[in-house]
């Protein structure tokens, strides 16, 4: 059977043009691929210059209540908090992932070699804690461009950000406003973001109510790797 010329070739040109972009570069993940009432709690363990430690008002609560969560640690934070992170990562409901080595706030301004160095430099500290290579990456401050994204994805990572900012690094945000903001903006498949390095000022105070209310509304919590 002969194909009519003109129609199909145009279609195939379009398909071939579209394929590489789809195959080589995914978008930054900002929600889980589900319509079910599922949420991912994620916490950033950032350290740039000032020494930062695991916020026990958050970590102890999550561990005690066995609530699944994902912690994105920078290299400095991972090295400084190695013992505590090892205890947490040993829990089956805790996932530890890559938040760059030095937490350079604008990775999009670095060269490709430097960008990949930021990712690879944190693999050994994290692997020393978890025994495996991390799978997910989060850009410091959420700043990136297409080239930075590709540099990270070429190393085999999926880049995971968040559905909406909780705003917890704001000293002026009360626990009540943090609670209401998160509960009101949560939707099925949402990825929530907080800070577990002492900069989530009211997170430890607000988190139990956030978890309780969302569970009452039918939500359950998952690690990122359960759905990505």
Residues that bind Zn ion (CB under 5 A): 44, 46, 140
- Cβ–Cβ < 8 Å for 33, 176: no
By the 8 A CB rule, do 156 and 148 touch?
no
Tell me the residue nearest to Zn ion as measured from the CB: 46
Give least dist CB 55 to Zn ion, A. 13
Closest to Zn ion by CB, 47 vs 181, is 47
Residue closer to Zn ion by CB (options 142, 208) is: 142
Give the residue with the Cβ less far from Zn ion, 166 or 219.
Answer: 166
Q: Shortest distance, CB of residue 20 to Zn ion, whole angstroms?
A: 31
Least Cβ distance, residue 103 to Zn ion (angstroms): 6
44/95 with CB nearer Zn ion = 44
Smallest distance, Zn ion to C-beta of residue 21, A:
28
Our CA dihedral for 178, 44, 222, 172, rounded to 10 degrees, sits at: 0
Instruction: Give the position of tokens 């705003």.
Output: 167
The token pair at 85 is 């992170």
Using an 8 Å Cβ cutoff, are 43 and 196 in contact? yes
Closest CA to 222 of 37, 98, 30, 87: 37
């Amino acid at each position: 059977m002969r194909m009519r010329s003109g129609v199909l070739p145009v279609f195939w040109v379009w398909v071939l043009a579209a394929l590489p972009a789809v195959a080589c570069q995914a978008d930054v993940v900002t929600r889980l691929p589900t319509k079910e009432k599922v949420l991912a709690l994620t916490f950033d363990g950032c350290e740039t210059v000032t020494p930062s430690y695991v916020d026990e008002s958050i970590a102890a609560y999550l561990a005690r209540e066995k609530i699944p969560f994902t912690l994105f640690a920078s290299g400095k934070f991972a090295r400084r908090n190695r013992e505590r992170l090892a205890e947490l990562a040993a829990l089956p409901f805790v996932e530890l992932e890559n938040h760059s080595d030095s937490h350079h706030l604008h990775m999009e301004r670095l060269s490709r070699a430097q960008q990949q160095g930021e990712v690879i430099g944190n693999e050994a500290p994290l692997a020393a804690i978890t025994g495996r290579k991390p799978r997910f990456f989060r850009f410091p401050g959420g700043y990136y461009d297409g080239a930075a994204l590709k540099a990270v994805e070429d190393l085999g990572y999926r880049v995971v950000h968040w559905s909406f900012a909780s705003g917890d690094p704001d000293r002026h945000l009360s626990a009540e406003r943090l609670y209401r903001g998160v509960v009101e903006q949560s939707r099925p498949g949402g990825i929530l973001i907080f800070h577990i390095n002492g900069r989530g000022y009211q997170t430890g105070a607000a988190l139990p109510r956030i978890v309780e209310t969302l569970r009452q509304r039918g939500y359950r919590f998952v690690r990122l790797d359960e759905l990505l």
